[in-house]
Amino acid sequence: MMLTVAFHQLRLANADEKIPMLWGRPRQHPGTIYLLRALGLVPLLLSAASWGQSIGYWSVGLVAAAFLPTVVLNVWHNRQIETAQPIA
């Protein structure tokens, strides 16, 4: 949830620019995003470690599923930017 909130704030700060998917940094990067990402990642990784003891490698899939909303929002945002700007 916090990862999605962090991306939403990043998207609002970069409303008319593409946001890199994996590597790179958008032009506007508010500092609160670091805090929100930490608040999302720390509990996720701690819970994945405990899940790993009980359900094994399925815990990796659960961590990947936690990132899915952020990935979908990033792709959606970048496609909106592409369609809004003419290709030069």
pLDDT tens digits, one per residue of 17-30? 898 887 888 888 88
Q: What is the rounded distance in angstroms from the CA atom of residue 8 to the CA atom of residue 60?
A: 24
Please state whether 44 falls in left (phi above 0), alpha (psi between -120 and 50) or beta. Answer: alpha
Q: SS3 helix, strand, coil % of the chain, rounded to 5?
A: 70, 0, 30
This prediction has a pTM of: 0.78
The Cβ of residue 1 has, within 10 Å, a number of other Cβ atoms equal to 12
Q: Which residues of the chain have pLDDT under 70?
A: 85-88
